[in-house]
Chains A and B, each alone.
Chain A
Amino acid sequence: MGNIFVKKPKITEVDKAILSLKTQRRKLAQYQQQLANIELTSKQKAVFESLKSGNNAIKAIQSEINLEDVQKLMDDTAEAKAYQDEINAILGEKLPAEDEEEVLAEFENLESQLQDLPEVPSAAPSVENVEEELDLPDVPTKPPVVADAVNEDAQDTSAGITERKKGFSFLLLVSSNTSTVYEVY
């Protein structure tokens, strides 16, 4: 009975508009979620299709390879290996006792033949020391002609050294200001 006098809040047009906007916003969020789900599903489908086509490609390649041929190839390889192993075993075998005796006898025979050879001299052969004569050109008798520019420096020369080496003569003129002139003649 007391509830008759309870005052309810008044609903205005603004309240209704707010409610409509909020409802639309919620619906929009739901649609966005739905779109996201659709996008994800389509991506998953694309991945599935890719995997499927890849699997089909593998199957197609595998269908071209005959299992019997592969087995035969493996058997042939095994046979070849076994054959090679057999060869290796034969080659690696130890000689029989009789053959070994023959080889040793032949070896002794060769050794006895070697004993008949002349002895190797123990001392080194004596060789006369013969001086080789070097055919060198004549030493020039005339003094060297020096350029005028060098001439001035040549007056102060502290030392003039003539060197004979491998058939060439050099005149080394050492000047006071350490400049050196080489003249070949």
Chain B
Amino acid sequence: MQKLGEFKLPNFFNYPPYFTLQPVRETREKQIQLWKELIIDFCRTQKIFVIGLEEDFPLFSNPAIERSLSYEAREAFLSALVSDGRAEWMDKGHRKCLVLWHRIQDWADLIVKFVKEYGLEDSVMTVEEIRSGTESRGTELHGIDRTVLMRALKLLEHKGKLAIFKGTSADDEGVKFSL
């Protein structure tokens, strides 16, 4: 089995037809499903949140079989993830895609779990502290994309579980939990 760093690649990755968009509908759907799972698994393992369609991405080519995905194929696979609510386009031109290997609701649940585990109820934390502080080290929240984190925090704020507020200077952004 081929590996990409520590990540084990599936068998289809070495099969050239999977790098070309299949014209037959049933085959195409099966192909898209396999690619969706591969992209989500890879992004979760490598903690990748943003995929640029015009940038080099390890999954978009396989030098061993001298194959790479066309722009059309890349857009098709990521659009399928967007349809499932597992990704979002970051621009109108569909050049950058935000991958949600956890849905926003799942990220929000992880934040609540983290706050309870570390006894941070009724305490103040900075946004940066949540994503790169000592407390979050070793958890899934460590290294979370700021956009994803803010989306999850706003969802929790909407539910009344926390309040997002500004400090004395403009770059201060904090969260007060109330669970």
Task: Please report A residues at the B interface, Cβ cutoff 8 Å.
Answer: 3, 6-11, 15-16, 18-20, 22-23, 26
Contact = CB atoms under 8 A, between A and B. Distances in A.
Nearest to A27: B171
A18 B124 contact: yes
Given A15-B124, A15-B174, A23 B160 contact: no
B169 A8 contact: no
Contact of A9 (B125, B162, B169, B172): B162
**6 nearest interchain CB pairs?**
A9-B178, A6-B160, A19-B174, A19-B167, A18-B124, A23-B172
A20 B168 contact: yes
Interface residues of B, number: 22
Given A8-B160, A9-B177, A20 B169 contact: yes
Contacts of A23: 126, 167, 169, 171-172, 174
A19 B171 contact: no
Contacts of A6: 158-160
B126 A19 contact: yes
Given A6-B159, A19-B174, A26 B124 contact: no
A3 B158 CA distance: 7
Given A9-B162, A18-B124, 18 more contacts: A6-B159, A8-B157, A8-B160, A8-B163, A8-B178, A9-B177, A11-B176, A15-B124, A16-B165, A16-B174, A18-B174, A19-B165, A19-B167, A20-B168, A22-B126, A23-B126, A23-B171, A23-B174
B122 interface: yes
A11 B168 contact: no
A135 B160 CA distance: 141
Interface in B145-179: 157-160, 162-163, 165, 167-169, 171-172, 174, 176-178
